[in-house]
Amino acid sequence: MNSNSPKFERNRFMQKAAVTACSILLTSTLIAQEDPDQLNTVLDIDALYTPLESKPIHGDTAVKLLNELETKHYSSIDIDDNFSSTVFDNYIDTLDGSKLYFLKQDIDAMSAYRYTLDNSLKDGNVEPGFEIYNLYYKRRLERMIYAVNRVENHVGEMDFTIDEVIEIDREEAPYAASLAELDELWRLRIKNSVLSLRLTGDDDEEITEKLSKRYRNQLSQISKTNDKDIFQTYMATVATAVDPHTSYFSPRDSENFNMGLSLSLQGIGAQLTTEAEYTKVAELIKGGPAERGNELQAGDRIVSIGQGVDGELQDVVGMRLDDVVAQIRGEKGTVVRLNVIPVDAVGESNATVVSITRDTVKLEDQSAKKEVIELSYNGDMYKIGIIDLPTFYFDFEAASRGEADYKSSTRDVHALLDELKEEEVDAVVVDLRNNGGGSLSEANQLVGLFIETGATVQIRYSGLRNGFTRSFGDNDPDVAYTGPLAVLVNRTSASASEIFAGAIQDYQRGIVLGGQTFGKGTVQEIIPMDYGQVKLTRSKFYRISGESTQHRGVIPDISFPDFYDAYEDIGESSLDGALPWDTVRAVEYTPYHAIQALVPELQKRYDERIQTSPDFIYLRDQIERTRVMRQREQLSLNEEEVKEEREQSRRTEFDAENMRRLLKGLTLNEWVEDENAEDEEEEGSLVANSDSPPLDEPEEDAVEDEGDPLLLESGRILADFIALNSNRLSSVSPENTRQNR
């Protein structure tokens, strides 16, 4: 059974992946309201328009989809007026979540469907979904025409000395009450795009050429949509109204999904989705070329793509997702260049070009790895073994062929533990940060490497409104490692990772450290249909304590600063319609240690250390700076003000880094005034200053290479645990010290 990790379902924008452009008829009413001399005669609306209508197969499939949702979903589903209202809101949000296309009068008119979609779907009628979608593209085409005209005729007239602003997030904003109000939103939006390019050094002619090409490209993309795209979007919205991990895939999208979403994975090892008009990197695949290159990040938005080391960058803003993916795909060994807006930046002025050599993601690249770190703490030296497990993998094909050396995360970790024991480590940290899950059976067996026998997880199944709960666990009494253990997690540790961390915590076999985990405690099943397929939530995970991992995830025994804390849209709790946290009856199990009794003292010592830790001070400040930036509601369109803000942000980051270096006794960096310097090192503003000696005059910057501060702190906590636990062993009953047998 597979735990269905949420790598490809990380936020609400995933349902928008199927939303692509199409051409829709523009009514003469709205066109007449445009200034006639602003209309470019090249943009022939009639030539762009092709009516889009549903087909009989669409209605038949809708009826069958409702039946699957009602009879097979984990929850009891009622297709009623409340369901209809949810579908309506989600559909509008999927199409125009930023409120940049629909007018208020459009929403008022379409609201007639709010409580009738359920009845239409039951009757096999999907026309309401098509009508709403068609109106959306009618409005979108109007906006593209406005944008082209604005860019081609008015760039030179824009005044960047006046104090104007643009809203960053319009999710909670009202819809425009008039065409003039919508035009004003787009005037400011286009002005921001122009300013971003001005700040990169482009002149008016270059800006006009780039943006005109971008918006005309979007017009071209609009004309490529067909009835299958509309049906896919509408049915996917119907399915996700039940829960965010339930979805519908049309035949074309089913093929892509069944290939492991290979259209997005092949080439660079990145899962892509759409956000507004941008293609966004949703996830980097462990072991893939993008992850190995360490330049591309989840959350980066792709502006343009170039082929080869010197191919021209082609703008892809507003392009269909599958067309963007087609440009990124390519033969192994070839280079693709992505011009991206970094996840922690807000505009194209901060875009940077990342070069990636295409490759395939190999199973061995995702294998568990080990290292040993040595640290001096309280006058003693400790050797801490680190096992980095990027995913819970199992080579089913090799195992089914009877190959003796098939890849398995449990087998690999077992071998690494044997090596660490030979190296006489004092403790082990299993690093599950950014591990999105994988095979449930592997998670169960991995827990078994640290306990004798016992349950590791419970699964509650539900079908036809009746359910039952079953426990799974480890039946092998062999224990690979009996020493002090910690599990390190963060917000993107999910599914099978949560099963492992929760079991280790419940058994009090080890200490769970880091950030709150993702909270995906549901299991999905693919059910084929005559036309496409549905991915349906069929069951839920529960810990042996009876607590669900759904929604809340696993709360660490000791929490570390987690960079993902700055992002409110990461985690199951951020997904609309996520199933709730609940409990089932606990299974019988016996704790291995009295870890919970030691946590208060461990926490106290940890708190004292991090108050003066340069790395933790820097990390907390960095998280807070990112949080503040993401909470900004507006961006200035005053050029000098934007430049000043950018310079101040650069200076703040520079000062924070230098303070960290000062406290650690490292060589300080030298401030570089010229932010447009061509030297890449100077652009980063962090250049070593040989004239600024470190505080304690170390012979070399050896401290700088001491390693990941979170792993080092995990080692110190384990050292504290060893000291505290050794003082309690004589008073702990044999039942609670089974690992020492």
Angstrom distances, CA of residue 159 to CA of 156, 167, 202, 480, 495 = 8, 18, 16, 69, 51
Residue 582: burial class (beta carbons within 10 Å; 0-12, 13-18, 19+):
middle
Catalytic residue flag (residue 506): yes
Catalytic residue flag (residue 520): yes
Rounded Cα gap, residues 660 and 644, in angstroms? 24
695-704 burial, b for 16+ CB within 10 Å, e for fewer? eeeeeeeeee
Rounded Cα gap, residues 511 and 513, in angstroms? 6
Q: Which of 520, 535, 540, 664 is catalytic?
A: 520
Catalytic residue flag (residue 691): no
Rounded Cα gap, residues 735 and 589, in angstroms? 11
Rounded Cα gap, residues 492 and 499, in angstroms? 14
Contacts of 271 (CB under 8 A, 6+ apart): 7, 8, 261, 264, 265, 281, 282, 283, 284, 285
What 8-state DSSP symbol labels residue 631? T
Beta bridge partners of 176: 103
Would you list the DSSP string of 384-420?
EEEEE---B-B-HHHHHTT-TT--BHHHHHHHHHHHH
220-252 burial, b for 16+ CB within 10 Å, e for fewer? ebbeebebbbbbbbbbbbbbbbbbbbbbbbbee
Q: Which of 106, 253, 315, 506 is catalytic?
A: 506
Rounded Cα gap, residues 437 and 431, in angstroms? 13
Angstrom distances, CA of residue 453 to CA of 444, 526, 677, 741 = 11, 32, 62, 14
Rounded Cα gap, residues 422 and 611, in angstroms? 36
Q: Which of 247, 254, 409, 495 is catalytic?
A: 495
Measured in degrees and rounded to the nearest 5, phi and psi for residue 401 equal: -80, -5
79, 49 Cβ separation under 8 angstroms: no
- Phi-psi group of 294: left, alpha or beta (phi > 0 → left; psi -120 to 50 → alpha; rest → beta): left
Rounded Cα gap, residues 273 and 18, in angstroms? 9
Kind and range of the H or E run holding 514 = strand 511-514
The set of catalytic residues is 495, 506, 520
